[in-house]
Amino acid sequence: MSVIEQMQQELQTLKEHSNLRQLPQMVHDGREVVVNGQRMLNLSSNDYLGLAANKEIRAEFLQTLTPDSFLPTSSSSRLLTGNFSIYEELEAELATQFGTEAALVFNSGYHANTGIIPAVSHARTLILADKLVHASLIDGIRLSTARCIRYRHNDLNQLERLLKEHHSSYQQILIVTESIFSMDGDLADLPSLVHLKHAYDNVLLYVDEAHAFGIRGAHGLGCAEEAGCIRDIDFLVGTFGKAGTSAGAYIVCSRVIREYLVNRMRTLIFTTALPPVNVAWTLFVLRRIPEMKEPRKHLDKISRILREALQAQGYSCPSVSHIVPLMVGSSANAVVRAKELQRHGFYALPVRPPTVPEGTSRIRFSLTAEVSEEEIRALISCIV
Ligand SMILES: *Cc1c(COP(=O)(O)O)cnc(C)c1O
């Protein structure tokens, strides 16, 4: 069989198992999408604060631009000629908001996770990663020369045993977790992770706040702010692509770590830096995030209503956040249920293996502050 024939066969198998993926065609209209001529409320967006659907804030930002300041490309890596001053303004704002020594901005969360982990680990490093961490973290681990053990999801007893067993055989141990998990919407226990880390002098903690930045904490800085442990986390990472309404990602960290990454992180060094206009927009949004308490409160409220309704219906719902899975089991079932919701005007998508473990296919609701309480109640009647 030729390589191409093999690909065709594999695609056919995916199709037979309801696991074939396609790029969906859609037109965006604020908080709604139009797919195949049907207008639906977007319940699959990562625009958690609803800012991407907000035209006023875009208009306000456009007012700040002139042909001189509208810079659509950096034309280079930041280490060559791509380091525009707006980058350093954004990093200064991040360090101020988070109260850290330093911050560093990257092209995306994917670049961050696939770049930082290999840069800071080596053959005498042991990585202990939660079983459910995001693909970008797994790819970062794969690119590193460290040994990795995955511990059961949020099982800190197992993690503690692994630390005890291995801490003296490695120069350093890196614990890797998300704060809000992408698919289950549950949380890592950050205070306990910090406590475990402090029991050893060679253990570092890496936390990805992709789904929490903008949403959790009094000023929207994430779960680490909420738990009061920002400066106990060695590598605190987040993306601007979700609640941040932009593109790019950050780490807030010590000065030493920042300088080390500038020298060693391949996904920072060998790529064209983000367009300065994009970085200016990120900064524009970042300055507004601390004050966005009302949208955060509303999102918290509608998320709770949906979670409690699913639990009352007997669905197992691990979520304690705005990411709320409706567990349906088989992929075929997930596809059918998603279609049904779509017919009722709710654009929710099935999540299937390999993104989630076999047998745990689900509809993944990813709520935003633009969804009203009435709409959540209508969604609940539709599910029931
Ligand atoms: C979305 C996501 C990323 C990737 O961020 P991008 O900026 O979209 O590349 C990384 N980690 C987690 C946990 C995510 O959910």
pLDDT tens digits along 35-80: 989 999 999 999 999 999 899 999 999 999 999 989 999 999 999 9
Q: Where in the chain is the domain with CATH 3.40.640.10?
A: 85-290
Ligand 1 atom nearest to 239, measured from its CA:
7
CA of 232 to the centre of ligand 1 (A): 22
- pTM recorded for the entire structure: 0.96
Question: Both tokens of residue 165?
Answer: 């067993």
Percent of the chain's residues with pLDDT above 90: 95
Ligand 1 atom nearest to 134, measured from its CA:
13
Cα 120 to Cα 13, 127, 209: the distances in Å are 39, 11, 19
CA of 112 to the centre of ligand 1 (A): 9
Distance CA 281, CA 286 (A): 8
Ligand 1 atom nearest to 249, measured from its CA:
7
For the segment 100-114, the average pLDDT, to the nearest whole number, is: 98
- For residue 363, the model assigns a pLDDT of 96
- Sheet containing 102-106: give its strands across: 102-106, 249-253, 235-239, 203-208, 172-178, 125-130, 147-151
Query: Which amino acid residue places its CA nearest to atom 1 of ligand 1?
Result: 210
**SS3 at position 252:** strand
Ligand 1 atom nearest to 182, measured from its CA:
15
Beta bridge partners of 28: 33
CATH 3.90.1150.10 fits 15-49+292-383, yes or no: yes
CA of 75 to the centre of ligand 1 (A): 24
- Which backbone phi and psi does 381 adopt, to 5 degrees? -60, -35
Question: Both tokens of residue 164?
Answer: 């005890």
Please classify residue 35 by burial: count the beta carbons closer than 10 Å to its beta carbon, then call 0-12 exposed, 13-18 middle and 19+ buried.
Answer: middle
CA of 135 to the centre of ligand 1 (A): 9
Question: Among all chains, which residue has been given the structure tokens 């969906």?
Answer: 24
CA of 267 to the centre of ligand 1 (A): 15
- Give residues with Cβ within 8 angstroms of 60, minimum separation 6: 284
Binding-site residues, ligand 1, Cβ < 6 A: 108-110, 113, 134, 136, 178, 182, 208, 210-211, 239, 241, 249
**In this structure, which topology does domain 85-290 adopt according to CATH?**
Aspartate Aminotransferase; domain 2 (3.40.640)
CA of 290 to the centre of ligand 1 (A): 21
Distance CA 274, CA 351 (A): 30
Distance CA 33, CA 346 (A): 10
Distance CA 179, CA 185 (A): 9
Distance CA 141, CA 121 (A): 9
pLDDT higher than 90, residue 289: yes
**pLDDT tens-digit series, residues 339-381:** 999 999 999 999 998 888 889 999 999 999 999 999 999 999 9
**pLDDT tens-digit series, residues 309-346:** 999 999 999 999 999 999 999 999 999 999 999 999 99
Query: Which amino acid residue places its CA nearest to atom 14 of ligand 1?
Result: 210
Closest by CA position to 87, among listed 198, 310, 250: 250
* Residue from 44, 106, 110 whose mutation best tests the ligand 1 pocket (most atoms within 8 A of CB): 110
DSSP annotation of 215:
T
Cα 144 to Cα 71, 108, 265, 277, 331: the distances in Å are 35, 19, 11, 33, 33
CA of 73 to the centre of ligand 1 (A): 22
Q: Are 240 and 106 in contact (CB under 8 A)?
A: no
pLDDT higher than 90, residue 128: yes
Q: Where in the chain is the domain with CATH 3.90.1150.10?
A: 15-49+292-383
* Residue from 46, 47, 182 whose mutation best tests the ligand 1 pocket (most atoms within 8 A of CB): 182
Distance CA 228, CA 222 (A): 10
